Amino acid sequence: MIDGLNCAVVTRDQFERTLKGGVSIINLTAITPWSSVTGALKELETNLATIEAMSDIACVVRSVDDIGAAKRDGKLGVIIGSQSSQMAEEDLAMLATFKRLGMRILQPTYNERCKFGQGAPFVGDADEGMTAAGHDWIAEMHRLHLLIDLSHCGHKTGADYLAASKQPVVFSHANSYEMCPSPRNKTDDHVRAVARTGGLIGAVMWAPSLKHATRPSIEDYLDQLDHLVNVGGIEHVAFASDQAEGHPGGREEWETTFGPRGKYPNITGILGPWYEWDTRLCSDYSSLAHTPRIWDAMRKRQYSASDIEKVMSRNWLRVLRDVWG
């Protein structure tokens, strides 16, 4: 079982909960998206050292073979990822440096405007699309066999990257815009385009991407999953938690970033009154330990065992083989 985006705290207790939920591999957001080079390197070193200190239950994975080995050893395999490439704005050579340190999945930008394009909060004419530097970024990502993730790109920026990529790309954690009109979600055209690249979209449990009026549940997640499968095909849909379990910055930091009065008003400020600290997660999925509930819900909706396995891991493994080699 592969979690396409994991941003929970990096602790033994959390990793044990993740394993308890049957999750074998996580794409860990290992650095703060808006970090400088220095900040990113320091944060990455801290996370790598923490994982190394838990070598009895966890390991960093750098290849598909490593993923298989982690599963066989009963360890949580950690893919080192970044939700932004802002730390490489001044010099794209930094991408190779971060690859040497274990990073394998990167986004061009987070929710911000950067040298490579615009993030999801930039809508309409404010989203000017992929930049000239973005073309250079794609070329270097292809050269290094790093996986391109467009989850937080604005709609035009994301479409431009999809059209320019010569290898499979992913929306590691996003839902359907038609089902929930959040700037963080992707249109049916985006879903079809990512499928044409051979990539996938990771249907995400993050509550603001599921439903706005009322607190969402696993049934709302399955509605999203059904729609994405109908549009993109079962071979191009996967699972992502994006649950800030044990939120690293705590309540105060959450209030100023992802809370209803935080820094992204057209993403988290448009939700109903239910969206507060104590009720920020889905009503029946508040821990990675609850992940088996998703597969139970898929079975109740008559998904076959083979299709469930595709969403659980097989689609991710195919994409990673295609890009990493």
Residue 257 has a pLDDT of 93
Is the Cβ–Cβ distance between 151 and 83 less than 8 Å? yes
Q: Is the pLDDT of residue 167 over 80?
A: yes
Backbone angles phi, psi at 267, to 5 degrees: -115, -50
Residue 171 has a pLDDT of 98
- Judge whether residue 248 has pLDDT over 80: no
Identify the band that residue 246 occupies on the pLDDT scale cut at 50, 70 and 90: confident
**Residues 131-163 pLDDT 10s:** 999 999 999 999 999 999 999 999 999 999 999
CA 5, CA 82: separation in Å to the nearest integer?
A: 10
Whether the predicted pLDDT of 201 surpasses 80: yes
First to last CA, the chain: 20
**CA distances in angstroms from 19 to 23, 30, 98, 258, 293, listed in the order given:** 5, 19, 27, 26, 14
Rounded average pLDDT over 247-274: 92
Q: b/e string for 204-235 if b means 16 or more Cβ within 10 A? A: bbbbbbbbbeebbbbebbbbbbbbbbebbebb
72-107 per-position pLDDT tens digit: 999 999 999 999 999 999 999 999 999 999 999 999
pLDDT digits (tens, 9 = 90+) for 216-245: 999 999 999 999 999 999 999 999 999 888
- The answer, yes or no, to whether residue 249 has pLDDT greater than 80, is no
Residues 120 and 180: their CA atoms lie apart, in Å, by: 14
Closest C-alpha to 4, from 183, 169, 217: 169
- At 253, list the tokens: 């930091």
pLDDT tens digits, 267-298? 999 999 999 999 999 999 999 999 999 999 99
Q: At a CB cut-off of 8 Å and minimum separation 6, what does 67 contact?
A: 24, 25, 61, 77, 317, 320
Mean pLDDT calculated for residue range 10-29: 97
The amino acid at residue 115 is: K
Percent of the chain with pLDDT over 70: 100
- Looking at every residue in the chain, the average pLDDT score rounds to 97
Tens digit of pLDDT for each residue in 176-194? 999 999 999 999 999 999 9
Residue 11, pLDDT score: 96
Question: What is the residue extent of each domain of the chain?
Answer: 1-106, 200-317
Given a cut of 90, whether residue 49 has pLDDT beyond it is yes
Write down the pTM of the prediction: 0.97
State the pLDDT at residue 250: 84
